[in-house]
Structure 1
Amino acid sequence: MASTFSFSQLQALSQLLTPAQEEDELEEQPAQGACSLEPGHIGPPKGSNPTDSSPKQPADTKMIWAEDDVPEGSEFEDIWDPRQQPEYEIVFRQRVGTEDVFLGMSRKDPSTACCEDMVIKIKLPDCKPADLSLDIKERFLALRAPHYKLGLHLPHPVDSKNGKARFVSNTHTLEVTLTMKREFDFINFA
């Protein structure tokens, strides 16, 4: 097979890849030689998407973008906030029983894919529980304290309505326990 293509072969390839409605537009343009034909001429012109006939527009005409265009948790990311980010650790936890440990009767293994809970341990020295503000979304955790701020994108979606948080006074650590929501958990843990 030849490694180079002639002008007529490139033009034939372009006609195969161009939709039928745009062939008339290409025929109106006179052929000026091989130097005017570029890779950008193959296929439909820029800006036209044959699969999407109507562009998405926000319902309110004064809105610049739709709510789906803004990533979750972006309202908490403030680069001008001088508060420092606290140390944190994400630990995955499984719910196992004796049938899992001794008999191996379930499909669980030691990997994080078989974990049901996510525990986030946040070290907050010199903080009191009354000073903390915690907001949890499906994929984002936001913590505000007088000297600390944390905006954490979570590695898995979580059940934001049914979480637990406790403050350990001895170590000044906030432990947030969240149940993970994964698509195929009913198959993995059946």
Structure 2
Amino acid sequence: METSQPSLLALAELLSGPRSEEDDDELGQVPTSAASRLGPGHIEAPKTAKPSAITHVKSGNSKEIWSAEEVPEGSEYDDSWDSREQPEYEILFKQQVGTEDLFLGMNRKDPSTACCEDMLIKIQLPDTKASDITLDIKEKVLDLRSPQKKLFLHLPHPVDPNSGKACFLPEKSTLEVTLHMKREFDFINFA
């Protein structure tokens, strides 16, 4: 890539900032960057700078430090005092693939997670019965409780909490939760 000398000088001037004649005399006409001319005395904010943030005063109780809209979904379930251990889990992504996808490549599906429709979460729950499990699914959170284990999982994609299904496999001591993902651009991926 070739660059001309005037463009390099313009870039150097842009990076060094504005200079006065006093600076040129002081430095002996040697071009320097703005950062090299700064010292410990330049730490204060510039006097001509305008405030970049606008402070908004909330109406209501002035002692509140955040509003209910700022609290992430599911954080009301997160209890750090609960001493139950977290079970091992695995998140897998599933997609419905037909012969037109596999052999002919007619749809725009690929093996990436962007083309997956469902999320499968396998949770290992040894020494647990299906009747002891409490499962609560929200759009972005999976909350599982059993007498020995507790799992509070923030999901990687938003899901439809009403269209999921769960199956407990007692021979493997595994709970399999299948959730249908809902994402912003699914109409593009699955058109």
Q: TM-score range by the shorter chain?
A: 0.7 to 0.9
User: 1-side partners of 2:98 and 2:129: how far apart?
Assistant: 36
TM-score normalised by structure 1 residue count:
0.73
How many correspondences in the alignment? 161
User: 1-side partners of 2:60 and 2:190: how far apart?
Assistant: 42
* 3-state SS, counterpart of residue 130 of structure 1: helix
Spell out the pairing of 1:82-97 with structure 2 (5 A cutoff).
82-97=83-98
* 3-state SS, counterpart of residue 100 of structure 1: helix
Residues 5-41 of structure 1: per-residue CA shift (max 9 Å, x gap): 55x99xxxxxxxxxxxxxxxxxxxxxxxxx9875523
Residues 66-115 of structure 1: per-residue CA shift (max 9 Å, x gap): 11221222222222211000000000000111211121110001111110
Contact residue 58 and residue 65 of structure 1 kept, 8 A: no
1:21 maps to what in 2? none
1:157 maps to what in 2? 158
TM-score normalised by structure 2 residue count:
0.73
Contact residue 156 and residue 182 of structure 1 kept, 8 A: yes
* 3-state SS, counterpart of residue 91 of structure 2: strand
Contact residue 141 and residue 153 of structure 1 kept, 8 A: yes
Contact residue 136 and residue 142 of structure 1 kept, 8 A: yes
User: 1-side partners of 2:68 and 2:90: how far apart?
Assistant: 31
Of the three residues 40, 52, 66, the one matched with 2:45 is 40
2:189 maps to what in 1? 188
Equivalent residue letter for 1:87: E
Spell out the pairing of 1:1-190 with structure 2 (5 A cutoff).
3=16, 5=19, 38-41=43-46, 42-45=48-51, 49=53, 55=56, 57=58, 64-190=65-191
1:17 maps to what in 2? none
* 3-state SS, counterpart of residue 143 of structure 2: strand
Residues 125-151 of structure 1: per-residue CA shift (max 9 Å, x gap): 111111111111111111111000001
Identity %: 59
- Indicate how the Cα distance of structure 1 residues 60 and 158 shifts in structure 2: closer, same or farther if over 3 A, else same: farther
**Structure 1, unpaired ranges of 5+:** 10-34
**CA RMSD, Structure 1 to Structure 2 (Å):** 2.8
- Indicate how the Cα distance of structure 1 residues 168 and 107 shifts in structure 2: closer, same or farther if over 3 A, else same: same
Contact residue 58 and residue 66 of structure 1 kept, 8 A: no
